[in-house]
Copies of this chain bind each other. A is one copy, B any other.
Amino acid sequence: MEYRNMTRGELESLLAQEKEKYAAIKSAGLSLDMSRGIPARKQLDLSQEMLGILVSEEDCEGEDGRDYRSYGLPDGTPEAKRMFSYITGAPVDNIIVCGNSSLNVMFDTVARNMLLGVSKSSEPWSRQGNIKFLCPVPGYDRHFSICETFGIEMINIPMTPEGPDMDAVEAAVRDPLVKGIWCVPKYSNPDGITYSDETVRRFAALKPAAPDFRIFWDNAYIVHDLYDDGDSLMDIFAECEKYGSADMVYMFVSTSKITFPGSGVAAIISSPANTAYIKSVMAMQTICHDKLNQLRHAKFLCSHEKIKEHMKKHAELLRPKFVAVCETLERELAGTGIAEWNTPRGGYFISLNVCDGCAKRVYNLMAELGVKLTPAGATFPYGNDPRDRNLRIAPTYPTIDELKKAVDALCVCVKIACIEKLLAK
């Protein structure tokens, strides 16, 4: 029965029950951090052998005999470019392999465009007044932090089951001050939505007023399927070819959630013109990135098949966790009308919408129980969820047992917060 159809008396009695459960959980004591999308130790162990691959002098030689311990190859090793080509399908010439963090590559890309413009002949973004970025919401807080750091105004774009609301995107890019959009096109953070073909097509076909508008295509979960038949994301570059819009897209990928979050390899993939320009600036920024770590990764993730097989092992560890969360939500909250959630087929998160005005209260109730969720609001620019309803569940790090306890507790907190809201009306 939907809670909104209950009588005051029914709600009050339900609230009392849930508060009893809450007190019991509290006295049992929980201590859990579910705030970030962190792989579990067992997932990291899957890549442990990689660290033994590269030990001797000979191990450190590239395929052309070059000594990778030394300087050189600022845009990455051919082996690592090939690895990212296996992952993304992009041609190696459009790939620049960087350091350990795709977030760092994104930050640097915005900083470069701010200071120097998107190309040699382009006006720096920082000299064009109050520029803006479009932010599909809910979204990834670290994207928003980059904009906030540089004082770039953020405009919310609602997410739909097909991806960002493209009507809203198409309307917004008519403003020449709109310079970019953040996208996590596959298994979006936090919704777990994979953009539909139609959405990708409309992105490729965009005609922004700003010639220096750029799509930040953060393909963080490109091979991170939970099931054998993972979602398929259309190749945006192939679509862009049709519209002559390839310069509009930067794709970012990394091995952070394939091998080691702190010691992976990241890459930026773009058009030949963008790639040439980025290389020219990067050559001033560094002599080279860590080629030994690139080689270590390329030897470990040595083929398309090897990567697929490796990601299956991750899926086997992750799938039961996602299933546990969704089953508990289903059991406790289905039909109540106080919560909606997604059932993602990949990625790192489950997005939960509760009654308007209740997310912060749920976050605080959980914190009091000893469970740290991603702060309510974090999935929106400026930490401001206008409806205060979205919560991001990160199920990857805890054990299944911990997770079940945490989500049980979460359901209790959601009920308490929402019933209180209903009673206050």
Binding site for B on A (CB under 8 A): 36, 38-39, 41, 44-45, 47-48, 51-52, 54-57, 59-60, 67-72, 99-101, 103-104, 107-108, 111, 114-116, 126, 142, 145-146, 148-150, 260-263, 281, 284-293
Contacts and interface: CB of A to CB of B under 8 A. Distances in A.
Contact of A71 (B47, B149, B261): B261
A291 B38 CA distance: 16
A285 B149 CA distance: 9
A262 B68 contact: yes
A148 B280 CA distance: 13
A286 to B, nearest CB: 4
A274 B47 CA distance: 37
B44 A67 contact: yes
A104 B262 CA distance: 18
A36 B285 contact: no
Q: Which of the listed residues A45, A108, A287, A288 has the most CB atoms from chain B within 10 Å of its own CB?
A: A287
A150 B52 CA distance: 41
Contact of A69 (B59, B262, B288): B262
Contact of A293 (B67, B287, B293): B293
Contacts of A52: 55
B149 A284 contact: yes
Contacts of A285: 103-104, 107-108
B107 A115 contact: no
Contacts of A48: 56-57
Nearest to A39: B70
A67 B54 contact: no
A399 to B, nearest CB: 15
27 contacts: A38-B70, A44-B69, A44-B70, A48-B56, A55-B55, A68-B263, A69-B263, A72-B262, A99-B100, A99-B289, A103-B286, A104-B285, A104-B286, A107-B284, A108-B285, A111-B111, A115-B126, A116-B149, A116-B150, A126-B126, A142-B284, A148-B284, A149-B284, A260-B292, A262-B287, A262-B288, A262-B292
Given A51-B292, A52-B55, 14 more contacts: A36-B71, A38-B71, A51-B54, A51-B60, A55-B55, A68-B263, A100-B290, A103-B287, A107-B285, A115-B150, A149-B281, A262-B290, A263-B292, A293-B293
Contacts of A108: 108, 285
Contact of A291 (B44, B45, B263, B287): B263
A381 B142 CA distance: 38
Contacts of A281: 149
